[in-house]
């Protein structure tokens, strides 16, 4: 009786989901509500409590499909077990397992595992054929859905990680281009004024030379206006807003100039706001402001389908936070299971429950050193060292900065050496050339040492900015804890910097001095990534340390309970 009551509740819950807007296309494909109810009544229901439980195995024969009613599942390509690849997260309303029923091979294309506590509605192959026979258009609907998922899993972008999938990738609305038109349109006022003046003056000789005068007076304005409009068009097409299952990425590129990139982990998103100006109200676009905990705010103007973007960010942020919470629960489960010698019975995830900044995502390759003299004169722009068990990554300014500083003393040194060989033993000139050689050598070593001693460093817990004059005649050092970091982003100021792959990495911190700026570094995107990953790894370890302290308390209580239950008689 109790099972019948629970099944009735499950069927009603499934039916409500099928009738919701989330599944509108599927719902509308059924000829009548009665057949939709019959479909719901054909379901079997299952709840998966433990993360890592496998619902489908890649390569097995597929003879059923599912609808996710709650929780999160994850489809993973395990064809390369040493490097599993995330294909998608599957949440409420998602169909699972239909691809095998669509394909002639009938084999599962991915392993589907439980990420958070999930409830699914299971349908057998007989129900599949019954459903398709009622409306053959459903087959097309499922084929479209599977193709869409496949395309989504294949979307790539600079810096994409193997355990994330793009949810939305969008450009700015056309209104962003329209907003740039006032300037080029203003330039076209020049030709209009010319023709008005010609009409008002009514000078006869204009009829003779009007063609040449028109060309000289009008063409420059038109060319400049067209060039500006063309530049603004391609500059408008150049920006990206990407929402993945892990983070929000805004890449602002300025054509022929530079770019800026900001990343915000979804687990840190606090609020997403849409804002509108007069252009947005006319053209149905919005600006989006994303407020995060510890990563600052990201604002993108004139976005297409801003409400859809906002909803996707909030949904993905909720899912990401749920995965982090599940990671804490899973850790507690495993520690208790280890204590009770039950760990072998727990399922193992193909991938970690929550996205973790594993140590293989940070640079652990140590720099090869020789001796202090040789190392000093090797112009290394990046070094990775381990000192007292702490990894320290060091960057110096770009090689172009070194080149600019040493080029003049090098030219003087080479010229003086050359002249000293060709002028012969002319006593006064040899003395002057000797002074020039010595002075240029001192100058060279001075500027080289000045470049060599300016350091930007990151450790496992802090960032360090060391600015020193040559031979340490003056030295300042700023240290900042990872706890104080608010945001990390890159700027490439202009096209010249972009061609040299040189830029600035800006680390905003909470404190009296608001920012650390790593100036003129080589490959600023990789520097940004290294700092961001180490910062995320620090935050993860900090969270795990707090979680483990709580887990220890729980285990101590369990141990005490076990001891008391073995040694104490119960009250009568």
pLDDT at 121 over 70: yes
**Rounded percentage of the chain residues whose pLDDT exceeds 90:** 21
Q: Which residue has the higher pLDDT, 251 or 208?
A: 251
Residue 328 resides in a domain: no
Sign of CA dihedral 279, 281, 283, 287: positive
Q: Which residue has the higher pLDDT, 554 or 406?
A: 406
User: How wide is the angle at C-alpha 550 spanned by C-alphas 546 and 556, nearest 5°?
Assistant: 145
Residue 246 zone, left/alpha/beta (φ > 0; ψ -120 to 50; rest)? alpha
Lowest mean pLDDT among 79-83, 379-383, 408-412, 502-506: 79-83
Examine the domain organization and report whether 408 and 502 are in the same domain.
yes
Task: Work out the angle between the directed axes of helices 125-134 and 137-154 (0-180°, nearest 10).
Answer: 110
Closest among 129, 173, 530, 139 to 363, alpha carbons compared: 530
Mean pLDDT to the nearest integer, 116-127: 93
Residue 385 resides in a domain: yes
Residue 524 resides in a domain: yes
pLDDT of residue 75: 93
Residue 559 and residue 550: Cα distance in Å, rounded? 14
Lowest mean pLDDT among 115-129, 140-154, 254-268, 532-546: 254-268
pLDDT at 117 over 60: yes
Residue 92 and residue 389: Cα distance in Å, rounded? 46
pLDDT of residue 359: 41
Phi, psi of 448 (to 5 degrees): -65, -45
Closest among 109, 98, 125 to 60, alpha carbons compared: 109
pLDDT tens-digit readout, 269-302: 878 888 777 766 677 778 888 887 655 677 787 8
Tokens of 508: 């905003």
pTM listed for this prediction: 0.66
Residue 53 resides in a domain: yes
Q: Which residue has the higher pLDDT, 68 or 554?
A: 68
Examine the domain organization and report whether 146 and 18 are in the same domain.
yes
Spatial CB neighbours of 497, under 8 Å, sequence gap ≥ 6: 258, 503
Lowest mean pLDDT among 172-176, 258-262, 399-403: 258-262
Domain with 212 in it: 177-236
Q: What is the DSSP string of 442-505?
A: HHHHHHHHHHHH-EEEE-SSEEEEEEE-GGGSSEEEEEEEGGGEEEEEEEE-SHHHHHHTEEEE
Examine the domain organization and report whether 531 and 408 are in the same domain.
yes
pLDDT at 73 over 80: yes
Lowest mean pLDDT among 77-81, 202-206, 402-406, 479-483: 202-206
Examine the domain organization and report whether 134 and 56 are in the same domain.
yes
pLDDT tens-digit readout, 303-340: 877 888 888 888 988 888 888 888 777 777 777 777 66
Residue 409 and residue 518: Cα distance in Å, rounded? 26
pLDDT of residue 41: 93
Residue 212 and residue 209: Cα distance in Å, rounded? 6
Examine the domain organization and report whether 66 and 188 are in the same domain.
no
Residue 485 and residue 296: Cα distance in Å, rounded? 9
Number of domains in the chain: 3
Sign of CA dihedral 516, 522, 525, 530: negative
Residue 113 and residue 330: Cα distance in Å, rounded? 14
pLDDT of residue 421: 79
Examine the domain organization and report whether 189 and 124 are in the same domain.
no
Examine the domain organization and report whether 187 and 143 are in the same domain.
no
Question: Of the residues 217, 236, 255, which one is the last residue of a structural domain?
Answer: 236
- Confidence class for position 354, pLDDT limits 50, 70, 90: low
Mean pLDDT to the nearest integer, 77-105: 89
Contact 229, 181 (CB under 8 A): yes
- Give the burial class of 246: count Cβ atoms within 10 A of its Cβ; 0-12 exposed, 13-18 middle, 19 or more buried: buried
Question: Of the residues 154, 169, 191, which one is the last residue of a structural domain?
Answer: 154
pLDDT tens-digit readout, 147-197: 988 888 888 887 787 778 899 888 887 777 877 888 887 877 766 666 666
Mean pLDDT to the nearest integer, 504-520: 79
pLDDT of residue 360: 42
Q: What is the DSSP pairing of strand 515-522 with strand 502-509? A: antiparallel
Residue 321 and residue 246: Cα distance in Å, rounded? 10
pLDDT of residue 543: 76
Q: Which residue has the higher pLDDT, 193 or 240?
A: 240
- Confidence class for position 520, pLDDT limits 50, 70, 90: very high
3-state secondary structure 324-381: HHHHHHHHHHHHHHHHCCCHHHCCCCCCCCCCCCCHHHCCCCCCCCCCHHHHHHCCCC
- Confidence class for position 10, pLDDT limits 50, 70, 90: very high
Question: Of the residues 89, 119, 154, which one is the last residue of a structural domain?
Answer: 154
pLDDT at 113 over 90: yes
Residue 319 resides in a domain: no
Spatial CB neighbours of 465, under 8 Å, sequence gap ≥ 6: 455, 456, 457, 477, 478, 516, 517, 518
pLDDT of residue 210: 52
Residues in the chain, how many? 572
Report which DSSP code applies to 107: B
Residue 181 resides in a domain: yes
pLDDT of residue 417: 86
Residue 268 and residue 571: Cα distance in Å, rounded? 50
Residue 338 resides in a domain: no
Examine the domain organization and report whether 503 and 455 are in the same domain.
yes
Residue 5 and residue 572: Cα distance in Å, rounded? 39
pLDDT of residue 295: 58
Mean pLDDT to the nearest integer, 225-248: 85
pLDDT of residue 199: 62
Lowest mean pLDDT among 73-77, 351-355, 535-539: 351-355
pLDDT tens-digit readout, 422-460: 876 666 777 888 888 899 999 999 999 999 889 999 988
Spatial CB neighbours of 140, under 8 Å, sequence gap ≥ 6: none
Examine the domain organization and report whether 193 and 122 are in the same domain.
no
Examine the domain organization and report whether 149 and 194 are in the same domain.
no
Q: What is the CATH number of the domain that holds 57?
A: 2.60.120.10
Examine the domain organization and report whether 403 and 531 are in the same domain.
yes
pLDDT of residue 91: 93
Closest among 372, 448, 460, 439 to 407, alpha carbons compared: 448
pLDDT of residue 361: 53
Examine the domain organization and report whether 113 and 147 are in the same domain.
yes
Mean pLDDT to the nearest integer, 339-343: 70
Helix (H) or strand (E) holding 508: strand 502-509
Residue 562 resides in a domain: no
């Amino acid at each position: 009786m109790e099972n019948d009551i629970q099944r009735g509740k499950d069927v009603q819950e499934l039916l409500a989901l099928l009738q919701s807007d989330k599944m509108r296309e599927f719902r509308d494909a059924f000829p009548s509500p009665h057949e939709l109810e019959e479909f719901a009544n054909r379901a079997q229901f299952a709840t998966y409590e433990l993360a890592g439980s496998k619902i489908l195995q890649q390569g097995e024969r597929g003879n059923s499909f599912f609808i996710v009613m709650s929780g999160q599942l994850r489809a993973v390509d395990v064809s390369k077990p040493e490097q599993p690849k995330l294909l998608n997260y599957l949440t409420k309303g998602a169909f699972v397992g239909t691809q095998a029923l669509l394909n002639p091979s009938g084999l599962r294309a991915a392993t589907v595992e439980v990420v958070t506590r999930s409830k699914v509605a299971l349908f057998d192959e007989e129900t599949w054929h019954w459903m398709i026979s009622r409306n053959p258009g459903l087959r097309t609907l499922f084929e479209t859905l599977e193709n869409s998922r496949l395309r989504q899993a294949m979307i790539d972008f600079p810096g994409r990680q193997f355990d994330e999938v793009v949810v939305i990738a969008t450009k700015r609305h056309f209104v962003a281009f329209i907003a740039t038109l006032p300037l080029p349109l203003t330039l076209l006022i020049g030709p209009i004024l010319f023709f008005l003046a010609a009409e008002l003056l009514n000078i006869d000789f204009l009829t003779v030379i009007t063609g040449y005068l028109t060309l000289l007076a009008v063409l420059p304005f038109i060319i400049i206006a067209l060039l500006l409009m063309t530049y603004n068009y391609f500059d408008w097409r150049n920006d990206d807003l990407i929402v993945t299952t892990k983070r929000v990425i805004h890449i602002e590129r300025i054509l022929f100039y530079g770019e800026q990139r900001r990343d915000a982990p979804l687990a840190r998103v606090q609020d997403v706001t849409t804002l509108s100006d007069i252009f947005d109200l006319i053209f149905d676009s919005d600006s989006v402001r994303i407020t995060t905990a510890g990563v600052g705010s990201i604002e993108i103007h004139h976005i297409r389908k801003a409400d859809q973007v906002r909803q996707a960010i909030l949904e993905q942020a909720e899912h990401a936070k749920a995965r982090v919470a599940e990671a804490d629960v899973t850790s507690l489960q495993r520690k208790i299971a280890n204590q009770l010698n039950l760990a072998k019975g727990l399922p193992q995830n193909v991938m970690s429950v929550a996205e973790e900044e594993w140590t293989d995502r940070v640079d652990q390759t140590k720099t090869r050193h020789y001796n202090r003299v040789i190392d000093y004169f090797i112009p290394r722009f990046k070094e990775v060292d381990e000192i007292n068990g702490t990894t320290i990554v060091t960057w110096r300014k770009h090689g172009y900065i070194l080149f600019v500083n040493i080029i003049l003393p090098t030219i003087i040194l080479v010229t003086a050496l050359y002249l000293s060989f060709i002028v012969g033993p002319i006593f006064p000139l040899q003395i002057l050339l000797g002074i020039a050689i010595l002075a240029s050598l001192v100058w060279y070593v001075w500027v080289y040492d000045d470049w060599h001693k300016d350091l930007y460093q990151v450790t496992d817990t802090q960032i360090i900015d060391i600015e020193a004059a040559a031979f340490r005649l003056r030295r300042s050092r700023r240290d900042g804890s990872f706890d104080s970091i608010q945001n990390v982003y890159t700027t490439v100021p202009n096209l010249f910097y972009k061609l040299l792959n040189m830029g600035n990495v800006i680390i905003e911190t909470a404190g009296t001095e608001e920012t650390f700026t790593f100036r003129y570094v080589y490959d600023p995107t990789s520097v940004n990534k290294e700092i961001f990953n180490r910062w995320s790894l620090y935050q993860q370890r900090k969270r795990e340390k707090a979680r483990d302290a709580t887990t220890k308390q729980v285990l101590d209580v369990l141990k005490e309970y076990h001891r008391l239950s073995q040694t104490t008689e119960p009250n009568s």
